[in-house]
Amino acid sequence: MLFRGRKFFWGLVCLQVALTTTGHAEIVLHGTRVIYPSNAREITLQLSNNGTAPSLVQAWIDDGNAKSTPDETNVPFIITPPISRVEATKGQTLRITALPTTSQLSQQQESIFWLNVLDIPPKPEGRTQQG
């Protein structure tokens, strides 16, 4: 019985390895963290498209609530451009600017917000939309 359980376990492990796919990011951020000094007017973040096709990029900042959408977030920063087309092998600069409401943040401790960057690749050629 123990032998059969091991075979089943290793069969599941092999199946998971066989079904695992790897994903390669086309849009790459040049930095893993953004620290916004309280005396800065704005900061910039570079991203690049390492792919062979143009990509649509949507960027937004939120407070970490996974259930909120970009238009529902209430954060004291704005990111421009929120949506942009990045050509293949080209880059884009995102600007993060503090709103006047940042003065309401605690000066005694750091605050954390999340920068989200969504890569929307083009539709594969040869596919037609089914209606």
Sorted by where each begins, the domain ranges of the chain are 25-120
Q: How many residues make up the chain in this entry?
A: 131
**Closest CA relative to residue 44, chosen from 115, 121, 118, 110:** 115
Q: What is the pLDDT of residues 63-77, one digit of tens each?
A: 999 888 878 888 999
| Percent of residues, the chain, with pLDDT higher than 90 | 50
pTM over 0.85: no
**Closest CA relative to residue 117, chosen from 32, 40, 50:** 32
Residue 1 has pLDDT above 50, yes or no: no
Architecture label for domain 25-120: Sandwich (2.60)
- Mean pLDDT on 105-114: 88
